[in-house]
């Protein structure tokens, strides 16, 4: 057991190397061959094709015939990422799920735009951002194999610091005491003065500058006061999910054509339009007949059924519950 623990890293590394060597050794078994020739088929990135061709001609002294074929849209092809820095760091997150198909959009750049944003929105503290940045940098230097993942988390830490400035939070503190605030004001740094009331007691504090107070800023929605961070979470969810539907529409359009893309993906936008029209009509913000919104909604259900069958109808509540689930972005931030 001790030897197993002691040499675990070595064994795992070389197990992977041996698996690759076995694949290489078995590869000729998959070639079509005669007594004097053989045929091999494989995939090469377009950018590397010229160099690959020159290498084969040189290695065989010109005794080779190379035929270049364009793969079909429906072939199950291997995928090779081709992203610039720092986008290539986010490929590690893609590999945790499933690689995009050859005809699909590579969403790595979207992870660059969303993952650090969500991370920073939830944590949102200057002190925590600096602390996590140092921890991730240490892990990156200590264990180089984690470099890409740590780069992702270090970018997220930078966004955490920026949100911390927006929230005015520093290691959980939102203000100075009255004494410290007056001392700083005497030095020329005057902060906003505020009176806090808690359990019947009041105290004077000096707040850090901020754009949004996570614990107290509210938005009036239909006569109800909701915390701003929770409402922002729902708005982010609506944008994020609809952007995902647009990408799905693009992928479906490339793979199966406009009809399938319209029925399976665009029908969701028609459904959302029906819900929005209904709500705006009920609240008096739009002067429409009451039946307009529900009719648009029913039309979307028909389109969805034609595109995805009963499965699409069953998933109707999911799209709206998923949007509401983004409230967790703000809730986790409040809990932290």
Alpha-helical runs (H) found in 168-198: 178-186
- In the numeric block, the tokens 């040499």 are attached to 7
Alpha-helical runs (H) found in the chain: 2-6, 8-26, 49-59, 91-94, 108-123, 126-142, 147-167, 178-186, 228-256, 258-261, 267-282, 292-308, 310-314, 316-325, 327-335
Residues ≥6 apart with Cβ < 8 Å to 144: none
- In the numeric block, the tokens 């040189």 are attached to 58
Contacts within 8 Å (CB) and 24+ apart, 245-251: 245/269, 247/105, 247/107, 247/110, 250/105, 251/101, 251/103, 251/104, 251/105
- Residue 44: how many CA atoms within 13 Å on its side-chain side? 16
Which residue from 163, 248, 254 is spatially nearest to 213, judged by alpha carbons? Answer: 163
d(Cα 81, Cα 319) in Å, to the nearest integer? 30
pLDDT of residue 75: 65
- β-pairing verdict for 192-198 and 201-207: antiparallel
d(Cα 205, Cα 181) in Å, to the nearest integer? 7
pLDDT of residue 68: 85
Which residues in the chain land under pLDDT 70? 1, 72-75, 198-200, 222
pTM for the model stands at: 0.76
pLDDT digits (tens, 9 = 90+) for 79-129: 888 888 889 999 888 888 888 888 788 888 899 999 999 999 999 999 999
Report residue 75: phi and psi, to 5°.
-75, 145
pLDDT of residue 199: 67
- In the numeric block, the tokens 């999911």 are attached to 318
């Amino acid at each position: 057991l001790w030897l197993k623990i002691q040499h675990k890293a070595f064994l795992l590394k070389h197990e992977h190397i041996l698996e690759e060597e076995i694949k290489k050794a078995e590869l000729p078994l998959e070639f079509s061959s005669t007594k004097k020739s053989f045929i091999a088929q494989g995939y090469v990135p377009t950018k590397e094709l010229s160099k690959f061709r020159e290498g084969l001609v040189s290695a065989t002294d010109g005794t080779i015939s190379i035929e270049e074929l364009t793969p079909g849209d429906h072939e199950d092809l291997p995928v090779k990422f081709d992203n610039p820095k720092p986008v290539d760091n986010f490929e590690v997150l893609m590999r945790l799920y499933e690689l995009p198909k050859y005809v699909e959009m590579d969403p790595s750049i979207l992870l660059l735009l969303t993952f650090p944003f969500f991370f920073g929105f939830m944590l949102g503290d200057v002190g925590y951002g600096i602390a996590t940045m140092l921890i991730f940098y240490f892990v990156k230097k200590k264990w180089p194999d984690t470099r890409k993942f740590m780069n992702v988390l270090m970018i997220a830490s930078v966004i955490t610091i920026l949100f911390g400035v927006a929230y005015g939070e520093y290691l959980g503190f939102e203000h100075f005491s009255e004494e410290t605030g007056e001392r700083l004001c005497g030095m020329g740094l005057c902060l906003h003065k505020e009176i806090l009331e808690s359990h019947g007691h009041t105290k004077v504090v000096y707040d850090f500058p901020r754009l949004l107070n996570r614990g107290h800023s509210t938005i009036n929605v239909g006569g109800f006061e909701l915390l701003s961070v929770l409402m922002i979470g729902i708005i982010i969810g609506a944008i994020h999910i609809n952007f995902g539907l647009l990408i799905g529409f693009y992928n479906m359009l490339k793979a199966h054509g406009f009809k399938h893309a319209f029925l399976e993906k665009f029908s969701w936008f028609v459904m959302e339009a029906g819900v929005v029209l209904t709500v705006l009509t009920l609240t008096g913000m739009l002067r429409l007949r009451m039946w307009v919104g529900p009719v648009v909604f029913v039309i979307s259900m028909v389109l969805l059924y034609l595109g995805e069958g009963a499965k699409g109808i069953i998933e109707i509540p999911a799209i709206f519950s998923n949007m509401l689930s983004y409230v967790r972005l703000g809730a986790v931030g409040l809990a932290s």
